[in-house]
Structure 1
Amino acid sequence: MAVQAAKVIAEEVMAGHYYHTQRGTLMLTVLPLAALLTGLPGILAMTLRPGHWPWLLLAPSALCCGLAWLFSSLTVEVSGTGIRWYFGPGLWDYRVALSDIEGVRIVRNTWLNGFGIRMGTGRRLYNVSGLDAVELRLKTGDIGGIGTDDPHGLV
């Protein structure tokens, strides 16, 4: 059985297939902590002064929990025709045809670049944790960055 699995992996590597999921360690640490800190005033208000409005104070906490779920990981797949990546449960994904890519290189971001989806003029960065990324230079002139803890494997 192990020999057969090794053959399948070898065939995928030879065919140019790549699949890797990076856990969003930063997102899974910071966002639940923010949910706890933003939820405490709501919990206090509900216990000290019950009424109809205190539950509204829990909205930021719920938002942080939702963001933690959405950005819990970043999965990247490369096939013979394109590259696809998505966050967490994969509610939406991003795709680029390999024929649209002019070049790739490994880059190291600073923490100032941020995490999640960062957009600028002609630039986008998709990142859940860490500072390593692979930069995709597209033929259109746009630059996309995909954060990864396996930059050499992705390249």
Structure 2
Amino acid sequence: MREKKSVLKDRERNPSGFHRCWASFNHKDDELWRVSKVLFESDAVVFFGSVHWGQMNAVYQRLLERLTWIENRHSTLGEDNVVGKIDAGVVVLGHNWRSAEVLELQKRVLGFFGFNVRDELCLSWQYTGDEDDESPESYAKAAGEFRKKFGLD
């Protein structure tokens, strides 16, 4: 059995015992445990992000980068998939370029992580298909259209 040196040894922050991340281990002020603790207690999780320059925004990307140890446990280390019973989805919001493609890519990524990706927990919304439409007027119209589409008026 492989020694798990990077495990977060704090029962309050890691009650499942699943949280193993070198950044958390090496940096005592790291707060990724706030995400993983709730994640491992959940039956379902829905990730949200906006599309910038044809990909999910940097905050979303950073979160996934920080969670790669979940994927590594089963794909690289051959251990149990600790998120296999968690239903997952992703909501992708964009203005004018690649939101539908980004949604499909992120569904695949969550699948690689081992989540049970559910289509009914996934959504892509994009205001326009005109990739050159970057006008202030278009952004203002998009906000109103979004509110109308989702009953937020």
Same fold (TM over 0.5): no
TM-score, normalised via structure 2 length? 0.24
Query: Under a length normalisation based on structure 1, what TM-score does the superposition of the two structures give?
Result: 0.23
Could you say which structure has the larger radius of gyration? 1
